Amino acid sequence: MLASEQIKEMIEKEKELDTTTSSSQSSIESSHEQLNQDLPQRNLSQNRVIQEIIDTERTFYRSLDILDNYFSSYGKTAKHNDFLIKLRGLLPQLKDVSTKLLQNVTESIRTDLDPSELAKLRQQRTQLIKVFFTIYPIYSELYPTYLKEVREHPEAFKDIELYLADPKANAKQSDLASILIQIIQRGPRYQLLVIAIIKLNNDLTPEDPSRLTFEEIQRIEELLILIKGSIEKVNSELPVLDLKSELESKKGYQFGDFLLRPAYEYLTQEVELDETSTSSTSAPVQSYRPGDLLLRPLYAYLTQEPTDSSKKEKEEPVEKNQSTSSTNSDWGFSRFWSSSKTAAGQSTKPKDSSDFDEQAPQKSGNNDDQKPDDNNEGFTLV
């Protein structure tokens, strides 16, 4: 991870490039909506990657803007929350990169730019993406840190969560986690943007004036190396498995404690008492019991605890292969959960995904002939 001085130096370079950008770009800085008005732009219908990048970047910027509005209006409520203080300090830089990158990509698809302006936009875009992936590991720590903090101190995030959930805030995401996860998602999306630029450039003829120069291609290849290393670093440090093991190791609340377990115990209590009070010499009666159709299979599936029927099937191998019509607990959901069991003498190992793929019915029609429209002829992202 680079030192803060190195990051600041890269940002200063980005600012210098920003001042040399075309005047038409600076005229649209006040509004993202204005980017689409009165500007001759290329048709993106044949390149969905670029269109998706622009659309998702607008959504990402709006999310950052909503957080910025919260800190501007209710920042005093976050002064005792170290996580929110850190988020507030990092937000302006992230918002600045998102704003300028959105402007750059939207400006680059215009059809009335001269070659000198195209070269400046390319250089600025490369620098912006480089700045983002330099700070990407720092910002990606926000999401897992928040998950841990909100689990330990939920009251500390009550105000901001209520603000985001309020329809008046006009937030597309109703909680802070949904916004923070977008920061991690931007990494792979920016990577797709760079790959799409290379692909589009390769589709151009050597005589095309929009084709990248050798030096520009070299800078993009170096950028891809930085992107790959940054994404791998983030993926390796995301403590998803650690958080899961921590939850499983706790002896406190477990999934189903509030509703599923009490309901299961209540509805099956009478039956369990009757079963324990019956004589051991009496033959068991296979009849419907409360919870057989839905509650028992659902409880066993969600809590990974075997039901009585599954215990019995493990102890006594199934000897009947013929299908029978009955009203016992093998009907409905119980039959669904046990549908993957094999006949006696065969392996009881669950089928893997390849087995299901082999048995999947083939759809009729011409869907197999449909392919993504990769025809980028006549389109150039510079």
* Same domain membership, residue 103 and residue 32: yes
Q: Does 202 score more than 80 pLDDT?
A: yes
Confidence of residue 175 (pLDDT cuts 50, 70, 90): confident
| Mean pLDDT on 241-268 | 50
* pLDDT for residue 73: 84
Considering only residues 347 and 95, tell me which one the structure prediction assigns the higher pLDDT.
95
pLDDT tens figures, 55-93: 889 999 999 999 999 998 877 767 788 999 999 999 999
* pLDDT for residue 151: 93
* pLDDT for residue 309: 57
Give the domain extent around 22.
4-249
Considering only residues 250 and 90, tell me which one the structure prediction assigns the higher pLDDT.
90
Q: Does 146 score more than 90 pLDDT?
A: yes
Mean pLDDT of the chain: 69
* Same domain membership, residue 89 and residue 177: yes
* Same domain membership, residue 199 and residue 60: yes
> 351 lies in a domain?
no
Comparing 7-11, 65-69, 95-99, 209-213, the range with the smallest average pLDDT is 7-11
* Same domain membership, residue 260 and residue 170: no
Domain count, the chain: 2
* Same domain membership, residue 110 and residue 174: yes
Q: Does 280 score more than 60 pLDDT?
A: no
> 372 lies in a domain?
no
pLDDT tens figures, 26-39: 433 444 444 444 54
| Mean pLDDT on 203-231 | 88
Q: What is the 3-state secondary structure (H, E, C) of the chain?
A: CCCHHHHHHHHHHHHHHHHCCCHHHHCCCCCCHHHHCCCCECCCCCCHHHHHHHHHHHHHHHHHHHHHHHHHHHHHHHCCCHHHHHHHHHHHHHHHHHHHHHHHHHHHCECCCCHHHHHHHHHHHHHHHHHHHHHHHHHHCHHHHHHHHHHHCHHHHHHHHHHHHCHHHCCCCCCHHHHHHHHHHHHHHHHHHHHHHHHHHHCCCCCCCCCCCHHHHHHHHHHHHHHHHHHHHHHHHCCHHHHHHHHHHCCCCCCCCCCHHHHHHHHHHHHHHHHHHCCCCCCCCCCCCCCCCCHHHHHHHHHCCCCHHHHHHHHCCCCCCCCCCCCCCCCCHHHHHCCCCCCCCCCCCCCCHHHHHHHCCCCCCCHHHCCCCCCCCCCCCC
Considering only residues 230 and 42, tell me which one the structure prediction assigns the higher pLDDT.
230
* Same domain membership, residue 110 and residue 12: yes
Q: Does 376 score more than 90 pLDDT?
A: no
Comparing 7-21, 110-124, 336-350, the range with the smallest average pLDDT is 336-350
pLDDT tens figures, 236-248: 877 653 434 444 4
* pLDDT for residue 331: 43
* Same domain membership, residue 231 and residue 268: no
Confidence of residue 295 (pLDDT cuts 50, 70, 90): low
> 18 lies in a domain?
yes
pLDDT tens figures, 82-126: 999 999 999 999 999 999 999 998 888 777 778 788 889 989 999
* pLDDT for residue 24: 36
Considering only residues 10 and 224, tell me which one the structure prediction assigns the higher pLDDT.
224
Confidence of residue 51 (pLDDT cuts 50, 70, 90): confident
* Same domain membership, residue 299 and residue 173: no
* Same domain membership, residue 226 and residue 267: no
